[in-house]
Amino acid sequence: MADMVNVFLFGKKYEVPSDLTIMEAMEYAGYKLVRGCGCRNGFCGACATVYRVKGDRELKACLACSTRVENDMYVATLPFFPLIKEGYDIEKIPTDESIMMQLYPEIYSCVGCNACTNACSQGLNVMQYIAYAQRGDYKRCAELSFDCVMCGICSSRCPAGISHPQVAMLARRINGKYIAPESKHLTERVKEIEDGLCADALEAIMNKPVEELQELYNHRDIEK
């Protein structure tokens, strides 16, 4: 029998095994997860959760799929952290810092507290990529924010109300469309797919078991 701990889910006390993640503990307690549950491996950002442990004054944020339960943990989940997403036409926007001033002026109110970086579930240097966005250095912002999963935990800790993932998404879009050199072999492959030349190969991939797909992905050739 595993060691058991007490957790409070939505105000109700449950006794669960200590080796479960918060998400697993919810299911162990009988909850059916239909929202806030995606990849279960820390990469989709869907399960942002806030919690506090009895005796600890700090309110913490995490991903429920990759955070283990603690004794006397009080948990509350949100469908998502509500980020401000501004609309724009990528075909028409300027590519200097003026677009950030127009759409996300709050980034210039950053106080440099580094709470966003400390909160990031992926270990990204969030404050630094926001600094690059402030200067219009979208190439570096895109590179530094590449592994962002858009969970919004960083924004939940920000006193300036910055929507860091949306700022980073805009930077990556600008970089991909206007700054990064064209990947000619990718353009050629997309055309082949559109022309139906890869239909058999795609069907073969779709029929492979998950384990084989993981093996192919982990040992793929990566262009330098």
The residue with greater pLDDT, 196 or 1, is 196
Q: Of all residues in the chain, what percent are helix, strand and coil, respectively (each to 5)? A: 40, 15, 45
pTM: 0.73
Confidence (pLDDT) at 1: 56
Provide CATH code, domain 4-77: 3.10.20.740
**pLDDT (tens digit, 9 = 90+) per residue, 127-137?**
999 999 999 99
Nearest to 204 by CA among 213, 194, 195, 196: 213
Average pLDDT score over residue span 74-96: 85
**φ, ψ at 155 (rounded to 5°):** -70, -30
Local confidence band at 10 (pLDDT 50, 70, 90 cut-offs): confident
**pLDDT (tens digit, 9 = 90+) per residue, 29-51?**
998 887 778 788 777 888 888 89
In whole numbers, what is the pLDDT of the chain averaged over residues? 90
Nearest to 68 by CA among 157, 117, 2, 115: 2
Distance CA 206, CA 215 (A): 14
Interhelix angle 164-174/126-134, nearest 10 degrees: 60
What is the distance in angstroms between the CA of the first residue and the CA of the last residue of the chain?
Answer: 49
Which part of the chain has CATH 3.10.20.740?
A: 4-77
Confidence (pLDDT) at 195: 93
